[in-house]
Amino acid sequence: MPPRWLIFVALLATVAAVVPFTIIARVRATPDANRGVHIFQDMDFQPKFKTQTKNPLFADHRSMRPAVEGSVARGETYDDTHYWEGAVHGDWAESLPSRLQLTEAFIKRGQQRFNIYCSACHGYSGYGNGMVNQRAMALMSSTEGPVMGTRWVAAKSLHDPLVREHRLGMIFNIATKGIRNMAGYQGQITTDDRWAIACYVQALQRSQNATTQDVPPELRKDLPLLK
């Protein structure tokens, strides 16, 4: 058995032997245009103008060029505030943007998306009693006090008189950007679908406050109480 210190020295030497190779590997893998010996070019030297540098080619000597006058962006612009934000001339829109059409299928689509994305908190019928809301309220009112510091703002009832006054564009905007404690769903739900949801929310609101006037006359005779 060799002495203890010798084993120690041998171990240390083994570890230290790796260090120079590590440094070499590291340096070789790091791009650096100022290195003395440049074995790998790595596109380090290119004739080009960097941003904010001088460029004698142009009269104003700027490398960064302003967009050519009259350029048109590829893809879509976001000028249509009606479609993208639900606002027309700075006020909430009352109607659908012209590129969308109000059909039964559109509202059904809205219902399906609402049931997926909104009902968890607002409930299927919109009274704010979705499962997530119920669970959070139960945790809040647990006999031992709020469980693990649960904090929850109850999901609003969509049939609250104030919410019923929201115009279509505002409901769309709430689904898009959120409001106060509610997060927006811009990232999860497509723009068309957020409009469909907004239409469905209005249909839902109307359904909960319907009068006989909402029933077409030819169908009224089928309502038992109205005969």
Pair of tokens at residue 155: 């999901």
40 to 59, contacts with ligand HEC by CB under 6 A?
none
3-state DSSP assignment of residue 178: strand
Number of other residues whose CB lies within 10 A of the CB of residue 93:
22
What is the Cα–Cα distance from 196 to 155, expressed in whole angstroms? 21
| Shortest distance (Å) from residue 114 CB to ligand HEC | 6
Pair of tokens at residue 179: 């409001």
Number of other residues whose CB lies within 10 A of the CB of residue 128:
18
Count of residues that bind ligand HEC according to CB under 6 A = 21
| Interface with ligand HEC, residue 185, by CB under 6 A | yes
Closer to ligand HEC by CB, 82 or 170: give it: 170
What is the number of residues in the chain?
227
Task: Return the range that interacts with ligand HEC (CB under 6 A); candidates 42-50, 81-89, 119-127, 137-145.
Answer: 119-127
> 């409001």: which residue's tokens?
179
Among 197, 199, 202, 205, binds ligand HEC (CB under 6 A): 197
Where b means 16+ CB within 10 Å and e means fewer, 176-207 reads beeeeebeebeeebebbbbbbbbbbbbebbee
Closer to ligand HEC by CB, 155 or 168: give it: 155
What is the Cα–Cα distance from 118 to 174, expressed in whole angstroms? 11
Closest CA to 92 of 170, 190, 35: 170
| Shortest distance (Å) from residue 170 CB to ligand HEC | 8
142 to 181, contacts with ligand HEC by CB under 6 A?
153, 155-156, 158, 163, 171, 174-175, 179-181
Closer to ligand HEC by CB, 63 or 125: give it: 125
Closer to ligand HEC by CB, 31 or 178: give it: 178
Closer to ligand HEC by CB, 82 or 122: give it: 122
3-state DSSP assignment of residue 202: helix
| Shortest distance (Å) from residue 90 CB to ligand HEC | 18
Among 120, 137, 139, 203, binds ligand HEC (CB under 6 A): 120
Q: Which residues lie near ligand HEC (CB under 6 A)?
A: 117-118, 120-122, 132, 153, 155-156, 158, 163, 171, 174-175, 179-182, 185, 197, 201
